[in-house]
Amino acid sequence: MARTWAIAGVDLHLELTGTRVRAALESALREAVRTGRLAAGTRLPSSRTLAVAEGWLTARSGSGTRVAARPAVPTPSAVPSPLALRPAHGHDLRAGSPDVSMFPRTAWTAAARRALQTAPPQALAYGHTCGLPELRTALAGYLARARGVHADPERIVVCAGFAQALGLLSRVLRSRGATTVAVEAYGHPQHAEIIAAEGLRARPVPVDAHGAVIGTPADALLLTPAHQFPLGVTLAAHRRTEAVRWAHETGGLVIEDDYDGEFRYDRQPVGALQALAPEHVVYAGTASKSLAPGLRLAWLVLPAHLLEEVTEAKRLADGHTSTLDQLTLAELVTRGDYDRQIRRCRLAYRRRRDRLTAALHREVPHVRVAGVSAGLHALLTLPRGTDEQDLVTRAARRGLALEALTTYRRPSEADTPEPYGPALVVGYATPPPHAYTAALARLCATLADRR
Ligand SMILES: Cc1ncc(COP(=O)(O)O)c(C=O)c1O
């Protein structure tokens, strides 16, 4: 028997089992509190309406019945909490996150308000699997203009981050009989895991000064052409041509992960590879660097032959991405606030990049800095023989989180010599502005302390 009580506009739903209502109620409440479904402080119906299970609830005259505070019960889980991934104290110069304090709260709130005021009720019903037409149209215009993408709104699928997009693509490739995705020998560790989780083999290909080496036999090739993650090189023009030729000749699919393509500083803008062969290249963009990773908003521009299957995979995965967030982003893009945000961040990150390179040059000239003409991270190459891991440990003792290049290495089965020496990947966008000076000082102190 299920019962629902409405308290101050909040429903309390409990599953009651058995015929003795008081005992069933007590047990259902205990279970709801124990599992955390009812948090400490949750307002409940009065104890007259509800049989109070002693110890689990508190009743105070005038303030109603509430769930009593109790010590937190650790939930067994092999997966670390996402919050555990970033240190609560200290400084963080690991790559991956932009400065989330630069999120355009005012513009986002105004866009959300406008979107809600003008959207018909139907906009809040189950929506289009591929994404709302408003957002797909806005994105198509933006991507064509800012990144040179051949973007037709009908070819766009809005996803919950690139992570989901890559999972959907992998699933579709697998269902078509694919077995292997070539990935750059250095990259985001999660992406190779996502590919593997869908039953495909991620086969690393070398990356040199011209970007990924093209030609490894595979069903698909995942690239970061504008700014290789994390080495920072740009895929050279001849490699772009080779990638497209490879796709034409083998029928392989190129997946272009354009995660930070908007952030370029003192080099010519590099347009999307997708424009060279829209029927062979999937373009993938994300709001994780330009706005915030917590939004979980990304977009694919697909070749016609993949559209139906990717849409079906998205439908099965989660129906569609949050309508409200899509409407808000559509407003932001249409009104120019998204461009303003990019410009503001580009300027701020460029200043940070300049401060980083100047400080390293001045304080630790033995460290070589690369990959800084674009993006939000730098590659710091250390003298031969330096123990990367030891540096990371010493930085941690100074309250600074750093990451070694080896964290991003995807070892290849071919016993190729390691082309990159000891290095650190420094995400200079991550700290909030007030913490950047201190983070830089700790970085330089750690690097200067050569033992
Ligand atoms: C190489 C690369 N691609 C894509 C992304 C964005 O992923 P998502 O959209 O899932 O946040 C990141 C974020 O760190 C990244 O490092």
Write the DSSP string, 326-382. HHHHHHHHHTTHHHHHHHHHHHHHHHHHHHHHHHHHHH-TTSEEES-SBSSEEEEE-
Question: 133 with 153: CB under 8 angstroms?
Answer: yes
Residue nearest to atom 12 of ligand 1 (CA): 259
Which of 237, 286, 269, 238 has the alpha carbon at shortest distance from 374? 269
Instruction: Reply yes or no on whether the pLDDT at 110 is more than 70.
Output: yes
Q: Which atom of ligand 1 is nearest to the CA of 165?
A: 10
Distance (angstroms) between ligand 1 centre and the Cα of 250 equals 27
CA dihedral 425, 427, 428, 434 (to 10 degrees): -130
Residue 45: per-residue pLDDT: 57
**Residue given tokens 């919950």 in the structure block:** 160
Q: Which atom of ligand 1 is nearest to the CA of 288?
A: 11
Element (H, E) at 255: strand 253-257
Residue nearest to atom 13 of ligand 1 (CA): 96
Q: Which of 164, 166, 195, 229 to mutate to test the pocket of ligand 1 (most atoms within 8 A of CB)?
A: 229
Distance (angstroms) between ligand 1 centre and the Cα of 67 equals 40
**What span, in angstroms and rounded, lies between the C-alpha atoms of 346 and 373?**
12
Q: What are phi and psi of 177, to 5 degrees?
A: 100, 5
Which of 301, 284, 287 has the alpha carbon at shortest distance from 130? 301
Residue 159: per-residue pLDDT: 98
Structure tokens at 117: 């005021």
Q: Provide the 10 A C-beta neighbour count for residue 226.
A: 26
Residue nearest to atom 7 of ligand 1 (CA): 162
Give the confidence band of 20 by pLDDT, cuts at 50, 70, 90.
Answer: low
Residue 419: per-residue pLDDT: 72
**What span, in angstroms and rounded, lies between the C-alpha atoms of 177 and 380?**
40
Ligand 1, pocket residues at CB < 6 Å: 96, 161-163, 188, 224, 229, 257, 259, 286, 288, 293, 298
Residue nearest to atom 14 of ligand 1 (CA): 96
Query: In a 3-state reduction of DSSP, which class is residue 426?
Result: strand
Q: What are phi and psi of 339, to 5 degrees?
A: -60, -40
Structure tokens at 36: 């955390």
Give the confidence band of 11 by pLDDT, cuts at 50, 70, 90.
Answer: very low
Higher pLDDT residue, 4 or 396? Answer: 396
Distance (angstroms) between ligand 1 centre and the Cα of 163 equals 7
Q: What percent of the chain has pLDDT over 70?
A: 78
Q: Provide the 10 A C-beta neighbour count for residue 200.
A: 22
Q: Which atom of ligand 1 is nearest to the CA of 164?
A: 10
Residue 276: per-residue pLDDT: 97
pLDDT tens-digit series, residues 275-299:
999 999 999 999 999 999 999 999 9
Query: Which residues are registered as beta bridge partners of 424?
Result: 380, 404
Q: Which of 100, 157, 164, 188 to mutate to test the pocket of ligand 1 (most atoms within 8 A of CB)?
A: 188
Q: Which atom of ligand 1 is nearest to the CA of 229?
A: 1
**Residue given tokens 């997966």 in the structure block:** 79
Question: 388 with 404: CB under 8 angstroms?
Answer: yes
Query: In a 3-state reduction of DSSP, which class is residue 136?
Result: helix
Distance (angstroms) between ligand 1 centre and the Cα of 16 equals 45
Residue nearest to atom 3 of ligand 1 (CA): 259
pTM of the model: 0.84
Q: Which atom of ligand 1 is nearest to the CA of 298?
A: 9
**What span, in angstroms and rounded, lies between the C-alpha atoms of 178 and 183?**
14
Give the confidence band of 64 by pLDDT, cuts at 50, 70, 90.
Answer: low
